[in-house]
Amino acid sequence: MPKKKILIIYTGGTLGMGYKIRGDENSPLIPLDWSEIQNSIHIFSHEGYFVKEKGIEFTFHKFNEAIDSSDINPLHWIKILEIIEDNYFNHDGFIIIHGTDTMAYTASFLSFAIQNLTKPIVLTGSQLPVLHSRTDAIQNLSNAIHIAASDLFGIKNIPEVLICFNDKLMRGNRATKSSSRDFSGFETPSFKLLGDLNEPIKINEDLILPIPDGKFETHKKYDTGIIVITLFPGFDYKYFDTIAEDKNIKAIILRTYGNGNAPTDSNFINCLKNLVNCGKLLFNISQCIEGEVLTEKYNTGKKIDECGVISCKNMTLEAAITKLIWLIGNIEINLIKFAFTKNLKGELY
């Protein structure tokens, strides 16, 4: 009997890429067949430490076609949810191998869509392919296994959707991709790491979400009828008129300045009021990587507050977007404002 059963879900991404011309790391990257990737990852082998010494049984589920994560869409999120559902009760933990570009979006959406999670779901990947001479893939996968099979390594069970990357353990809906070249890759602005995976492993146990009592289930509906607008000096407000008339757009996220500040001229304010009167939901998120929306701090923030714009506080953009995609798909539109301002899965404090 295995001591732990871990499901590896392979979606694609840089980790599983290979060079079109074998041995030439300057040639274009192309997706490799999963069998070739698996054979290159010795930590999955029967003679490897995790299987032979720790008694972990790995099972694998690959997407029919490996995906560059820039092509990820909500249908892929639903597929991941279905795979987890089908395997939830006969596995102890889950590792999702995913491209880095949209990893934080996927982690955030899964965190909202999965209810009453009692097991770790760990997303990881790499900045360099597994066959690269300096790959970071093996270290990231090894760390992810330690978290997915936590009690075998004396680590507290973490019943969350997580991102494990370059010795950092992060809450999935608190992470954002910070670099396309640094092995660190991700940060959790305005929030602490859940764990430091250096030597020794240190978990911030006081930050871990409690194990829920309810029945495990997933809510798979979604609605992508939102738009993100970045304000800049000279932004032409006439575009708001087009948005107001588009019935497919249900919510607008405004990327404002600093603590949530925006222009105070009457044309801008009237445009916001018109959008609200047309039934659109408006949200305020800062363009700053770190910090939060504090609209009471400056008059420029209070003005849009008075229009009925909802604060994203210190959420990441990825969390705000996916939270809305999930909320609009699953609850009545008149309840979204209240639900959005609630801390559902540790994304908001």
The reported pLDDT for the residue numbered 1 is 62
pLDDT of residue 31: 84
pTM comes to 0.95
As a CATH number, domain 226-340 is 3.40.50.40
Sign of CA dihedral 347, 12, 101, 283: negative
CA dist., res. 109 & res. 74, Å (int): 9
So what's the pLDDT on residue 138? Answer: 96
pLDDT at 184: 80
Nearest to 16 by CA among 51, 63, 57, 48: 63
Q: Which two tokens stand for residue 67?
A: 């995906």
Query: Residue-wise pLDDT tens for the chain (349 aa)?
Result: 678 999 999 999 999 998 888 878 788 888 888 888 898 899 999 999 999 999 999 999 999 989 889 999 999 999 999 999 999 999 999 999 999 999 999 999 999 999 999 999 999 999 999 988 899 999 999 999 999 999 999 999 999 999 999 999 999 999 999 988 888 889 999 899 999 999 899 999 999 999 999 999 999 999 999 999 999 999 999 899 999 999 999 999 999 999 899 999 999 999 999 999 999 999 999 999 888 898 666 556 578 888 899 999 999 999 999 999 999 999 999 999 999 999 999 999 7
Instruction: Quote the CA–CA distance of 348 and 341 in Å, as a whole number.
Output: 8
Q: How far is CA 284 from the centre of its chain?
A: 20
The residue with tokens 């829920």 is 212
Q: Assign a CATH topology to domain 4-218.
A: Rossmann fold (3.40.50)
| The 251-256 sheet, strands edge to edge | 226-230, 251-256, 281-286, 310-311
Task: Please choose, from the candidates 118, 134, 115, 136, the residue with its C-alpha nearest in 3D space to the C-alpha of residue 126.
Answer: 136
| pLDDT score of 349 | 77
**Domain limits, the chain:** 4-218, 226-340
Q: Which residues pair with 186 in a beta bridge?
A: 177
CB 340 within 8 A of CB 323: yes
Residues 6+ apart with CB under 8 A from 57: 2, 4, 5, 6, 51
pLDDT at 301: 57
Q: Please determine whether the domains at 4-218 and 226-340 fall in the same fold group of CATH.
A: yes
**Range 304-338 burial, b when 16+ CB lie within 10 A, else e:** bbebebbbbbbbbbbbbbbbbbbbbbbeeeeebee
d(CA 321, CA 326): 9
Does 341 qualify as catalytic in the annotation?
Answer: no
pLDDT in the model for residue 300: 60
Give the per-residue pLDDT at 18: 87
Catalytic residue among 11, 14, 106, 316: 14
Hey, what are 127's tokens? 């900045």
* Backbone φ/ψ region at 55: left (φ over 0), alpha (ψ -120 to 50), beta: left
**pLDDT at 192 (0 to 100):** 95
Separation CA 45–CA 36 (nearest Å): 13
Beta bridge partners of 310: 283
pLDDT of residue 263: 92
